[in-house]
């Protein structure tokens, strides 16, 4: 029995030595020995061959081959006034006041059926559908036949992902998080000199680099000359909690968020000792003025790291950008937009918090093939004269969506768990009422 445990201890020691020497140390200093690149080359070739075999030997339903790029329904981008005007074109508008025609009902019926068949909001919180199978999950409903060869490849993939990659990634994640807690706690005891902030940023970046290697992350950064600078605010679209790892792998940021308990709380308390992260209690989060004041105080100090904020307030499924909360754009600092786009072929990076807990989500990511994404740093943006916070937020959101190839939506991501506000319904009702009754009807007191 002693020989067995001695053998286990020896195997674990060799395992840790290999991880530290081949992965952890290169990650700490920002270089690679080529292991990840070789793995990605083999993986891309395998998936490419898989795509070819699927297209050659499998059949798909004709209906699903005729879908539009944005979904099942080709939606018109025209306004209510424009679309109703087309329906009314056979009937001239009276010269005085508004008008009503029965054909107006067709517009609302069509919009209602479109929302039932394909809700623009709900589909943004489900996993992105793939054109071909990536050997992870059988999400393609049109898959008709699986050959023996493909079954063997799938079985081999399960062995590689769960017996080789998962233990390796879990080990790296534990090492990275332990390094973060120990390193930030040690740095926190130093006096507030310049070397303390340099060491803090170095400890954070090393931790995120180790975690990124643990996810087999292949990240391509574009336009690095536009990277966020100290005293600014970095805003990005939000797909996953891993977005933080992706961005901090290339530079230091100050985080903004709510105080948590458990493991997340331990990490937050350790991080704030060495770096001025902005953590809020739940009661403080409801006080907008207090939050704004603390963020303004941080931005006004040009020696502090840029603040990283995800204005959507929730994770969206890597296909769209939803409404940005205006709070981040009321502070008055320089905004540095960043667009993040994941490649779903190698793994589903979207975190559906309604379906998966944080632990189960991370386990799913650690058993996927890899984390492949592109990051674009956009030029700094400032609030223009006469532009309010909402307009500024929409302008930044549109720039991020355009750069990342994402759909620009006006819907609030809070609809993931809440209903549409009555004020939004009233706004649409008033718009139609002004068309029917006429804008000058209120002036008639008779």
Q: Would you state the pLDDT for residue 355?
A: 83
CA–CA distance, 364 with 52 (Å, rounded to integer): 26
385 or 339, which is more confident: 339
101 or 299, which is more confident: 299
Q: Where is 376: in which H helix or E strand? A: strand 371-377
In a domain, 62, yes or no: no
Q: Would you state the pLDDT for residue 294?
A: 80
Q: Would you state the pLDDT for residue 55?
A: 55
Measured in Å, how far apart are the chain's first and last C-alpha atoms?
A: 100
Average pLDDT of span 126-154: 69
* Structural tokens at position 133: 């199978």
Kindly indicate the confidence band of residue 92, based on its pLDDT and cuts at 50, 70 and 90: low
* Structural tokens at position 259: 């105080």
| Residue-range definition of the domain harbouring residue 354 | 18-46+142-423
Would you tell me how many other CB atoms lie within 10 Å of the CB of residue 27?
25
In a domain, 64, yes or no: no
In a domain, 291, yes or no: yes
In a domain, 301, yes or no: yes
Q: How far is CA 60 from CA 137, 148, 276, in A?
A: 17, 19, 54
Asked whether residue 15 carries a pLDDT value surpassing 70, the answer given is yes
The helix-helix angle for 358-366 and 166-188 (nearest 10°) equals 120
Contacts of 12 (CB under 8 A, 6+ apart): none
Q: Where is 80: in which H helix or E strand? A: helix 80-87
| pTM of the predicted protein model | 0.79
Average pLDDT of span 129-137: 75
Contacts of 220 (CB under 8 A, 6+ apart): 373, 374, 375
Q: Would you state the pLDDT for residue 221?
A: 94
Q: Would you state the pLDDT for residue 331?
A: 84
| Percent of the chain topping pLDDT 90 | 17
Q: Would you state the pLDDT for residue 98?
A: 56
- Averaging pLDDT over each range in 20-24, 296-300, 315-319, which range is the top one? 315-319
Count how many domains the chain has: 1
Asked whether residue 339 carries a pLDDT value surpassing 80, the answer given is yes
- Answer yes or no: are the C-beta atoms of 217 and 245 closer than 8 Å: yes
Q: Would you state the pLDDT for residue 403?
A: 94
Q: Would you state the pLDDT for residue 54?
A: 57
Q: Which one, of 55, 73, 215, lies nearest residue 140 by Cα?
A: 55
Kindly indicate the confidence band of residue 77, based on its pLDDT and cuts at 50, 70 and 90: low
In a domain, 304, yes or no: yes
406: alpha, beta or left? (left if phi > 0; alpha if psi -120 to 50):
beta
Q: Would you state the pLDDT for residue 175?
A: 86
**DSSP letter for each residue of 382-407:** -PPTT--HHHHHHHHHHHHHHHHT-E
| Percent of the chain topping pLDDT 70 | 83
Kindly indicate the confidence band of residue 360, based on its pLDDT and cuts at 50, 70 and 90: confident
Would you tell me how many other CB atoms lie within 10 Å of the CB of residue 440?
11
Residue 309, classed as helix, strand or coil, is strand
Average pLDDT of span 62-84: 54
In a domain, 383, yes or no: yes
Kindly indicate the confidence band of residue 439, based on its pLDDT and cuts at 50, 70 and 90: low
- Answer yes or no: are the C-beta atoms of 306 and 277 closer than 8 Å: no
Q: Where is 152: in which H helix or E strand? A: helix 148-159
Q: Would you state the pLDDT for residue 214?
A: 83
382: alpha, beta or left? (left if phi > 0; alpha if psi -120 to 50):
beta
In a domain, 1, yes or no: no
Q: How many CA atoms lie within 13 A of 166 on its CB side?
A: 14
Kindly indicate the confidence band of residue 145, based on its pLDDT and cuts at 50, 70 and 90: low
Q: Would you state the pLDDT for residue 95?
A: 53
- Answer yes or no: are the C-beta atoms of 332 and 292 closer than 8 Å: no
- Sign of the C-alpha dihedral computed for residues 253, 254, 257 and 263 taken in this order: positive
- Answer yes or no: are the C-beta atoms of 91 and 44 closer than 8 Å: no
Q: Would you state the pLDDT for residue 152?
A: 85
Facing residues of 222 across strands? 376
Taking only Cα atoms into account, the Rg of the chain, rounded to an integer number of angstroms, comes to: 26
How would you class 334 by CB atoms within 10 Å of its CB: exposed for 0-12, middle for 13-18, buried for 19 or more? middle
Average pLDDT of span 198-224: 88
In a domain, 369, yes or no: yes
CA–CA distance, 245 with 114 (Å, rounded to integer): 37
Q: Would you state the pLDDT for residue 28?
A: 73
pLDDT tens-digit series, residues 45-68: 888 877 666 555 544 343 333 334
Average pLDDT of span 393-404: 94
Q: How many CA atoms lie within 13 A of 241 on its CB side?
A: 14
CA–CA distance, 60 with 58 (Å, rounded to integer): 7
């Amino acid at each position: 029995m002693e020989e067995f445990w001695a053998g286990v201890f020896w195997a674990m020691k060799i395992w840790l030595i290999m991880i530290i020497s081949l992965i952890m140390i290169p990650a700490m200093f920002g270089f690679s020995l080529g292991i990840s690149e070789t793995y990605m080359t083999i993986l891309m070739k395998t998936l490419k061959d898989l795509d070819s075999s699927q297209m050659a030997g499998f059949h798909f339903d004709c209906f699903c081959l005729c879908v539009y790029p944005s979904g099942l329904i080709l939606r018109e981008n025209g306004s209510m006034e424009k679309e109703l005007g087309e329906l009314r074109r056979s009937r001239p508008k009276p010269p005085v006041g508004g008008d009503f025609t029965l054909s107006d009902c067709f517009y609302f019926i069509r919009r209602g059926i479109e929302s039932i068949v394909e809700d623009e909001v709900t589909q943004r919180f489900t996993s992105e559908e793939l054109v071909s199978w990536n050997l992870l999950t059988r999400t393609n409903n049109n898959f008709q036949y699986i050959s023996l060869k493909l079954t063997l490849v799938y079985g081999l993939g399960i062995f590689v992902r769960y017996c080789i990659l998962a233990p390796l990634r879990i080990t790296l994640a534990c090492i990275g998080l332990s390094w973060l807690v120990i390193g930030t706690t040690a740095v926190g005891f130093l006096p507030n000199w310049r070397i303390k902030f340099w060491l803090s940023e170095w400890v954070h970046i090393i931790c995120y680099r180790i975690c990124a290697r643990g996810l087999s992350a292949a990240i391509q950064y574009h336009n690095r000359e536009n990277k966020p600078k100290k005293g600014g605010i970095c805003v990005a679209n939000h797909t996953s909690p891993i977005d933080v790892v992706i961005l901090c792998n290339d530079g230091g940021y100050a985080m903004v968020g709510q105080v948590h308990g458990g493991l997340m709380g331990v990490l937050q308390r350790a991080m704030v000792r060495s770096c001025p992260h902005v953590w809020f209690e739940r009661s403080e989060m409801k006080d907008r003025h207090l939050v704004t004041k603390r963020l303004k105080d941080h931005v006004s100090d040009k020696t502090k790291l840029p603040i990283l904020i995800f204005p959507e307030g929730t994770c969206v499924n890597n296909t769209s950008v939803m409404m940005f909360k205006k709070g981040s754009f009321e502070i008055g600092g320089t905004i540095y937009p960043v667009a993040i786009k994941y490649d779903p072929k190698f793994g589903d990076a979207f975190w559906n918090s309604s379906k998966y807990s944080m632990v189960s989500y991370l386990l799913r990511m650690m058993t996927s093939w890899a984390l492949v994404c592109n990051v674009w740093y956009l030029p700094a943006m400032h609030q223009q004269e006469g532009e309010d916070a909402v307009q500024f937020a929409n302008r930044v959101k549109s720039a991020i969506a355009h750069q990342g190839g994402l759909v620009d939506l006006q819907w609030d991501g809070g609809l993931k768990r809440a209903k549409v506000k009555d004020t939004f319904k009233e706004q649409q009702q008033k718009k139609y009422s002004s068309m029917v009754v006429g804008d000058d009807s209120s002036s008639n007191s008779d």
